[in-house]
C-alpha cells in the first residue's frame, strides 16, 4: 500500500472540512444535540425510576457510544457520497489507487471526522450532567474500537451498495443504522426483546458491547467474554464487508456504474 | 512494438445489448487519434474499458504492451482522462485539487509541477479560487491540468471542448497540440467537433452502433467518400441505412 496516495485521498476530505466552518459546526452540532437530549431524558429517569442506581450515567454513556457507532458509519458513507455529489467519482477510480488503499484511507479519514463531532459532545457531558465516559476505564478503549470496527463495517457494506447501484442507494446509507438500533440493545438488556428478535440480536456485536458498558457502570466489573464475542463477530462481519466491497466493485465494472456516477 | 494502445477484438455487452462489437485498433506512440461517432455509438464505453472502469465482455487492451486487466495500477499511473461529465471537487481550491491529484498520481515535486501547469494553462490568477466558482472555460483548464499532471503516455479526451466558447475551445486545442508535441505522448480524442478532429488528429476511427465502420486519415476519408469535409463524411456514414 502506498502511504502518499492514501494521504492524498485523506487530504481531499481534510481540505473539505478545514475550508468550511458550517461543515465543522454541522459535524459538532448533531452529536451535541443528541447527547444533551439523552442527558435530560436520563435525568428524568434518575428522578422517577430506581431501576438503575446510576441511570443518568448508564443511559448517557450508552448514548455516547451509540453516537460514536452512528458517526463512524455515517462518516464512512459520507466520504463516498461526497464523491458522488461532486461528480468526482470517476476521477478517483481512474487514479492509480488500489481498493485496499481506498478502504484504508477512508477508514482513517472517517475516524478523524467522527472524533471532530464527538469529542466536544463528550466534553459537554461532564459540566452539564456530571457524567464522564472515562469512568469505564481501560475497557472503554476496547468498546470504542469494537464499535468503530462495526461502524466501519456497516459503512463498507453501504458503500458497496452505492458502488453497485449508484446514488439511488443513498437512502439506505442513511437508514442502515436505524434498522439495527432496536436489535442492538443499546439502552436495554436483550431480555426485553421477543424471542425471535433475541436470536437475531445475538449475532450482532452491538448487544455484547452495550451489555458490557452497562455491566461495567452498574457492577463495576469487566466481563471479558462479552468483549471477546464482540470482537469475534466484528472480525467476521468486517471480512464479509470487504469481500462484498470487492464483489460490488467487480459488478460495477461489469454493469458500468463507475462511469458517469453522479447526481 | 511501438504501439501505445492496442485493442484486440473488444466487446462489451450490457443486458444483452452489444454496446461495443468486436473492435480492434492501435495507436502508435506520439500520435493523436480521433474516435468519432453519434451519441450512444460506444465511444465512452470504449474509453471506460481502456481506463479500467469497465470490464470488457471479451477482448484485450494493451497499453505500452501491458494488459490493463492484469496491470491496472501500473497503467493507471501512466494514463489520464478528461470529460465534461466528470468534475473535480467543487468546494476545494484549484491548488488543493491539483495537490491531491499530484499525490494520488505519485508526482515527486508537486509544487514545481503545479507551477509549471499554472504557467502552461494560465491558472495563476485562479489557483487559490474555489473550483466550483470558476467559469466553464476556467474549470476546463483546471481539468486539463489534472489530466496532464502525471505526464500521461496516453491521454483520453472525451469531448474536451464541449460547451466552451470558440476562443476557449481554440485555446484548449492549441494547448493540446503543443503539449502533445512537447511530451511526444499519444492522445485518443472523442469529439463531435469535426473541425477539431481535422485539426488535431492524424487518423480517425468512425464508430456506429458499437462497431468501427471506417478509418483512415481525415483527408483520405474525405477524398474516399467524395465529400467536402469530415462533417459530410460523418453524416454520410452515420446516416447510411438509416434513411435509405
Distance from CA of A181 to the nearest CA of B (A): 33
Tally Cβ neighbours within 10 Å of residue B1.
5
Half-sphere exposure in the Cβ direction for B1 (13 Å, CA): 2
Write out residues 79-108 of A within 8 Å (CB-CB) of B.
82, 86-98
Per DSSP, the three-state class of A201 is helix
- How far is Cα A208 from Cα A182, in angstroms, rounded to an integer? 14
- Chain-chain contact of B100 with A258 (C-beta, under 8 angstroms): no
What is the pLDDT at residue B232?
87
Distance from CA of A53 to the nearest CA of B (A): 49
pLDDT single digits (tens) A68-78? 898 888 888 88
Asked if A95 and B76 touch (Cβ cutoff 8 Å), the reply is yes
What is the pLDDT at residue B240?
60
**What is the DSSP track for B165-211?**
-HHHHHHHHHHHHHHHHHHT-EEEEE-S-HHHHHHH-SEEEEEETTE
- Chain-chain contact of A11 with B100 (C-beta, under 8 angstroms): yes
Q: Judge whether A263 lies within some domain.
A: no
- How far is Cα A154 from Cα A220, in angstroms, rounded to an integer? 31
Residue closest to A83 by CA, chosen among A107, A102, A108? A102
> Any CB–CB contact under 8 A between A10 and chain B?
no
- List b or e across A81-99, with b for residues whose CB sees 16 or more CB atoms inside 10 angstroms: bbbbbbbbbbbbbbbbbee
Q: Judge whether A54 lies within some domain.
A: yes
Asked if A166 and A261 touch (Cβ cutoff 8 Å), the reply is yes
pLDDT single digits (tens) A76-99? 888 888 888 888 888 989 999 998
Q: Judge whether A199 lies within some domain.
A: yes
- Give A228's contacts (C-beta < 8 A, 6+ positions apart): none
What is the pLDDT at residue B13?
93
**What is the DSSP track for chain A?**
--HHHHHHHHHHHHHHHHT-HHHHHHHHHHHHHHHHHHHHHHHHHHHH--SSTTHHHHHHHHHHHHHHHHHHHHHHHHHHHHHHHTT-HHHHHTSS--HHHHHHHHHHHHHHHHHHHHHHHHHHHHHHHS--GGGG-THHHHHHHHHHHHHHHHHHHHHHHHHHHGGGGHHHHHHHHHHHGGGGTSSS-GGGS-HHHHHHHHTSHHHHHHHHHHHHHHHS---HHHHHHHHHHHHHHHHHHHHHHHHHHHHHHHHTTTTT---
Q: Judge whether A167 lies within some domain.
A: yes
Question: Complex ipTM, two decimals?
Answer: 0.88
pLDDT single digits (tens) B40-83? 899 999 999 999 999 999 999 999 999 998 999 999 999 999 98
Instruction: List, for chain A, all residue ranges whose pLDDT scores fall below the cut of 50.
Output: none
> Any CB–CB contact under 8 A between A12 and chain B?
yes
Q: Secondary structure of chain B: what % helix, strand, coil (to 5)?
A: 40, 25, 35
Q: Judge whether A166 lies within some domain.
A: yes
Judged on CB neighbours under 10 Å (0-12, 13-18, 19+), A167 is: middle
Total structural domains within chain A: 1
Look at the block and give the residue holding cell 458500468. Answer: A256
- Chain-chain contact of A91 with B88 (C-beta, under 8 angstroms): yes
Domain extent at residue A168 = 3-255
Q: Judge whether A94 lies within some domain.
A: yes
Asked if B23 and B10 touch (Cβ cutoff 8 Å), the reply is yes
What is the pLDDT at residue B243?
47
Q: Judge whether A111 lies within some domain.
A: yes
Per DSSP, the three-state class of B93 is strand
Write out residues 33-72 of A within 8 Å (CB-CB) of B.
none
Q: Judge whether A184 lies within some domain.
A: yes
Look at the block and give the residue holding cell 461495567. Answer: A216
Instruction: List, for chain B, all residue ranges whose pLDDT scores fall below the cut of 70.
Output: 1, 240-244
Amino acid at each position: 500500500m502506498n502511504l502518499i496516495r492514501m494521504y492524498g485521498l485523506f487530504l481531499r476530505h481534510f481540505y473539505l472540512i478545514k475550508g468550511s466552518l458550517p461543515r465543522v459546526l454541522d459535524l459538532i452540532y448533531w452529536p451535541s444535540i443528541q447527547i444533551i437530549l439523552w442527558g435530560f431524558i436520563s435525568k428524568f429517569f434518575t428522578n422517577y425510576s430506581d431501576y438503575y442506581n446510576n441511570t443518568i450515567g448508564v443511559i448517557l454513556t450508552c448514548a455516547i457510544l451509540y453516537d460514536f457507532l452512528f458517526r463512524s458509519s455515517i462518516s464512512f458513507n459520507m466520504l463516498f457520497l461526497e464523491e458522488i455529489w461532486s461528480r468526482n467519482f470517476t476521477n478517483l477510480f481512474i487514479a492509480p489507487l488500489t481498493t485496499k488503499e481506498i478502504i484504508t484511507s477512508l477508514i482513517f479519514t472517517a475516524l478523524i471526522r467522527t472524533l471532530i463531532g464527538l469529542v466536544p459532545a463528550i466534553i459537554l457531558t461532564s459540566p452539564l450532567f456530571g457524567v464522564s465516559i472515562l469512568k469505564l476505564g481501560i475497557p472503554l478503549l476496547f468498546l470504542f474500537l469494537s464499535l468503530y470496527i462495526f461502524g466501519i463495517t456497516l459503512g463498507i457494506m453501504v458503500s458497496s451498495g452505492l458502488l453497485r447501484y449508484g446514488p439511488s442507494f443513498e437512502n439506505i446509507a442513511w437508514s442502515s443504522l436505524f434498522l439495527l438500533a432496536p436489535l442492538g440493545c443499546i439502552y436495554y438488556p436483550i431480555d426485553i426483546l421477543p424471542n425471535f428478535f433475541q436470536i437475531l440480536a445475538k449475532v450482532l456485536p452491538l448487544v455484547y458491547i452495550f451489555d458490557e458498558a452497562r455491566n461495567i457502570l452498574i457492577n463495576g466489573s469487566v466481563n471479558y467474554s462479552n468483549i471477546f464475542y464482540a470482537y469475534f463477530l466484528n472480525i467476521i462481519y468486517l471480512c464479509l464487508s470487504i469481500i462484498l466491497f470487492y464483489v460490488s466493485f467487480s459488478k460495477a465494472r461489469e454493469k458500468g456504474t463507475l462511469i458517469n456516477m453522479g447526481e | 512494438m511501438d504501439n501505445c494502445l492496442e485493442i484486440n477484438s473488444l466487446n462489451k455487452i450490457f443486458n444483452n445489448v452489444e454496446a461495443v462489437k468486436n473492435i480492434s485498433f492501435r495507436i502508435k506512440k506520439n500520435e493523436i487519434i480521433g474516435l468519432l461517432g453519434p451519441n450512444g455509438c460506444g465511444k465512452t464505453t470504449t474509453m471506460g474499458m481502456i481506463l479500467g472502469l469497465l470490464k470488457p465482455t471479451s477482448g484485450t487492451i494493451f497499453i505500452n504492451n501491458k494488459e490493463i486487466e492484469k496491470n491496472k495500477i501500473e497503467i493507471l499511473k501512466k494514463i489520464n482522462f478528461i470529460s465534461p461529465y466528470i468534475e473535480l471537487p467543487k468546494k476545494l481550491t484549484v491548488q488543493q485539487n491539483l495537490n491531491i491529484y499530484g499525490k494520488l498520481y505519485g508526482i515527486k515535486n508537486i509544487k514545481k509541477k503545479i507551477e509549471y501547469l499554472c504557467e502552461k494553462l494560465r491558472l495563476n490568477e485562479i489557483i487559490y479560487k474555489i473550483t466550483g466558482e470558476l467559469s466553464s472555460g476556467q474549470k476546463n483548464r483546471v481539468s486539463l491540468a489534472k489530466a496532464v499532471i502525471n505526464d500521461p503516455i496516453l491521454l483520453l479526451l472525451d469531448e474536451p471542448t464541449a460547451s466552451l466558447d470558440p476562443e476557449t475551445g481554440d485555446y484548449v486545442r492549441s494547448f493540446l497540440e503543443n503539449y502533445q508535441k512537447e511530451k511526444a505522448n499519444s492522445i485518443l480524442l472523442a469529439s463531435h467537433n469535426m473541425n477539431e478532429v481535422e485539426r488535431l488528429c492524424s487518423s480517425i476511427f468512425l464508430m456506429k452502433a458499437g462497431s468501427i465502420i471506417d478509418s483512415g486519415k481525415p483527408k483520405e476519408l474525405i477524398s474516399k467518400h467524395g465529400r467536402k469535409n469530415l462533417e459530410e463524411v460523418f453524416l454520410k456514414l452515420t446516416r447510411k441505412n438509416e434513411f435509405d
